[in-house]
Amino acid sequence: MNDEKKRELRSQAWFGRQDKMGFYYRSFLKNSGFPQDQFEGRPVIGICNTWSELNPCNSHFRTIAEHVRYGVLDAGGFPLEFPVSSLGEVTMRPTAMLFRNLAAMDVEEAIRAHPLDGVVLLMGCDKTTPALLMGAASADLPTIGVSGGPQLRGVYRGQMIGSGTNIISMSEQLRAGEVTLQEFHEAEGAMNRSHGHCMTMGTASTMASLVEALGVGLPENAAIPAADARRNHLARMAGRRIVEVVNEDLVLSKILTRQAFENAIRTLAAIGGSTNAVVHLLAIAGRVGIELTLDDFDRLGRDVHCLVDLMPSGRFLMEDFYYAGGLPVVLRTLGERGLLNKDALTVNGRPLWENVKDAPCWNRDVITSFEEPFKPEAGIAILRGNLAPDGAVIKPSAASPELMRHTGRAVVFESIEDLHHRIDDEDLDIDETCIMVLKHCGPKGYPGMAEVGNMPLPQKVLKKGVRDMVRISDARMSGTAYGTVVLHVAPEATAGGPLALVQNGDLITLDVQARSLHLHVDDVALAERRAAWQPPTPHATRGYAKLYVDHVLQADKGADLDFLVGRTGSPVPRDNH
């Protein structure tokens, strides 16, 4: 590497110094076995690792990190792995989403504070992907995303079972007395039988797909199973490529353009992806100054068909998606229909279209053509009305067609505890024509906007064989869930949104085709209710939860913290001596 290039490397502000501080920086790293030549102008690549035993979806990340490391070394770089907060969807309470913004802060500050020239982000379980992308976007170094990959198919008694999706259906069967506890336990081992994240098109696989669609990941990032050796090949190629990305000064903001977000929104529709991606994409876009709105999701996704027959909406799993050709086939199909910004630049240095234009499909049962789609017009629908002035979302591909236009009597639950307490009460006045309304589960209300929007149905309704009802809340729902579920109502109840004013017995009309959510209570009555409304007592009085509640934006703005929106880049910080 010539002297001019060396000077351009950010890391040389640490390692290139021939003084007391240069001694200090190099000497301590030499104790790990790095010889002098490592410090003489090699691009320093941070491998940002979310490995944790508390996050089983990312428990193989030490192996993936090793393959990235080999790749960086192959290309003449200097790899340095570092840990950041890992957000395990399964075990974190009250919800991993509460900590997404905290982890994003961790990532941003860790990148900026250290002598790094580029970063490879290792992401898997749901919130780890947006957290790392948000933090990296604000730090804005050359960056490549590597997802950990989905688990192998779950197989139980000869049937494919999908993570999350079948947990929900089996727990409802258990509550309805249709399966035994022994069968329930047996299915647990059969479902999550390999490393990797949820293998349905839940939030993790949706976000891994969007990493690829945004151009931040290499082609095929979305679907290679964690247990497939090709996941490690991809990691190694990412390690090699990031060194070139540094030399090309291809910072993340050159990839995360408006074109890229539009591609991601259309991809979200074409894969029937998780509603959580709406909140995450809004937050990531906010970090790079792209003004994305809920209406962009409706407008861009409206004419896009769902092309993949994957759970939770369909039959197959991510492993099948990979064998069928994976996301490149979906992107190619979108491109052929004029639904892709073909010139959007990707981290391999090529426009997105160049990566996918020849992608072959090996199984039309799994990835359908646009002419005969799995589900027509499946983009996320944005609802508005006097119940959700700032918007609410519904995933039509996961909803019951007969409920897409429905008027029903509201049965209101004031909190998730209230729901759990009363849902199976025989005296609860509810039937399948009612609309279940859950309050105080939004960003401030829960806090953290938990995935409780797909409320369990009352046992007495389940026993009739009914499996879906209209449900409305300011919460999110797991990407592996399904049902006619209206989510992310904004403003949320705790912030004084109209949702707070709904009472038992009110009539509500959901009309997805008209994009409308209407509470049949006149303005005068609503004003009276508002005058009597008292904000709930805050859950959090100190610590991070208080910071979060005081600063979190509403769901239609991505639920980021207000002071984290935007980017600072990575100017070299001042010396600490």
Query: According to CB under 6 A, which residues from 452 to 481 bind ligand FES?
Result: none
Q: What minimum distance in Å lies between the beta carbon of 158 and ligand FES?
A: 24
Query: Are the C-beta atoms of residues 321 and 308 closer than 8 Å to each other?
Result: yes
Instruction: Out of 16, 130, 202, 328, point to the residue binding ligand FES (CB under 6 A).
Output: 202
Q: What minimum distance in Å lies between the beta carbon of 194 and ligand FES?
A: 13
CA distances 336 to 176, 222, 273, 331, 359, Å, are: 47, 20, 21, 9, 12
State the Cα–Cα distance between residues 448 and 100, nearest whole angstrom.
Answer: 9
Nearer to ligand FES, 50 or 348 (CB): 50
DSSP state of 60: T
Rule CB under 6 A: say whether 451 interacts with ligand FES.
no
Residues 6+ apart with CB under 8 A from 250: 142, 345, 347, 349
Question: Which DSSP helix (H) or strand (E) runs through 2?
Answer: none
Q: What minimum distance in Å lies between the beta carbon of 128 and ligand FES?
A: 8
Q: What minimum distance in Å lies between the beta carbon of 225 and ligand FES?
A: 13
Question: Which DSSP helix (H) or strand (E) runs through 505?
Answer: none
Question: Which range, of 194-202, 458-466, 493-501, 534-542, touches ligand FES by CB under 6 A?
Answer: 194-202
Question: Which range, of 195-203, 407-415, 462-470, 506-514, touches ligand FES by CB under 6 A?
Answer: 195-203
Q: What minimum distance in Å lies between the beta carbon of 331 and ligand FES?
A: 22
Nearer to ligand FES, 262 or 319 (CB): 319
State the Cα–Cα distance between residues 485 and 313, nearest whole angstrom.
Answer: 13
Question: Which range, of 198-206, 288-296, 411-419, 448-456, touches ligand FES by CB under 6 A?
Answer: 198-206
Nearer to ligand FES, 125 or 133 (CB): 125
Nearer to ligand FES, 129 or 348 (CB): 129
Question: Which range, of 112-120, 197-205, 380-388, 421-429, touches ligand FES by CB under 6 A?
Answer: 197-205
CA distances 124 to 66, 143, 146, Å, are: 16, 16, 9
Q: What minimum distance in Å lies between the beta carbon of 479 and ligand FES?
A: 8
Instruction: Out of 204, 250, 255, 264, point to the residue binding ligand FES (CB under 6 A).
Output: 204
For residues 22 to 61, the per-residue mask of contacts with ligand FES, x marking binding by CB under 6 A and - elsewhere, is -----------------------------------x----
**What are the backbone angles phi and psi of residue 57, rounded to the nearest 5°?**
-65, -25
Nearer to ligand FES, 125 or 561 (CB): 125
3-state helix, strand and coil shares in percent for the chain, rounded to the nearest 5: 40, 15, 45
The HSE-up count of residue 438 (CA atoms within 13 Å, CB side) is: 34
Nearer to ligand FES, 150 or 326 (CB): 150
State the Cα–Cα distance between residues 280 and 277, nearest whole angstrom.
Answer: 5
Nearer to ligand FES, 79 or 217 (CB): 217
Chain centroid offset of residue 206 CA:
7
**Residue where the block lists tokens 């008292």:** 534
The encoded tokens of residue 189 equal: 């081992």
Q: What minimum distance in Å lies between the beta carbon of 55 and ligand FES?
A: 7
DSSP state of 19: S
Q: What minimum distance in Å lies between the beta carbon of 57 and ligand FES?
A: 3
Query: According to CB under 6 A, which residues from 68 to 97 bind ligand FES?
Result: 89-90
Instruction: Out of 26, 153, 197, 471, point to the residue binding ligand FES (CB under 6 A).
Output: 197
Q: What minimum distance in Å lies between the beta carbon of 130 and ligand FES?
A: 13
Least Cα distance to 99 among 544, 551, 490 occurs for 544
Q: What minimum distance in Å lies between the beta carbon of 205 and ligand FES?
A: 8
Q: What minimum distance in Å lies between the beta carbon of 346 and ligand FES?
A: 24
Q: What minimum distance in Å lies between the beta carbon of 169 and ligand FES?
A: 16
Nearer to ligand FES, 64 or 411 (CB): 64
Number of residues that bind ligand FES (CB under 6 A): 10
Query: Are the C-beta atoms of residues 308 and 206 closer than 8 Å to each other?
Result: no
State the Cα–Cα distance between residues 285 and 430, nearest whole angstrom.
Answer: 41
Question: Which range, of 31-39, 196-204, 430-438, 555-563, touches ligand FES by CB under 6 A?
Answer: 196-204
State the Cα–Cα distance between residues 214 and 252, nearest whole angstrom.
Answer: 11
State the Cα–Cα distance between residues 502 and 385, nearest whole angstrom.
Answer: 14
With the CA atoms of 445, 490, 280 and 326 taken in that order, what torsion angle do they form, in degrees rounded to the nearest 10? 120
The HSE-up count of residue 59 (CA atoms within 13 Å, CB side) is: 15
Query: Are the C-beta atoms of residues 470 and 455 closer than 8 Å to each other?
Result: no
Query: According to CB under 6 A, which residues from 100 to 159 bind ligand FES?
Result: 125-126
Nearer to ligand FES, 81 or 89 (CB): 89
Using the Cα atoms of residue 472, residue 198, residue 288 and residue 103 in order, give the sign of their dihedral. Answer: positive
Length of the chain: 577
Q: What is the DSSP string of 405-419?
A: EEEEEEEEESSHHHH
Nearer to ligand FES, 89 or 298 (CB): 89
Q: Which residues bind ligand FES (CB under 6 A)?
A: 57, 89-90, 125-126, 163, 197-198, 202, 204
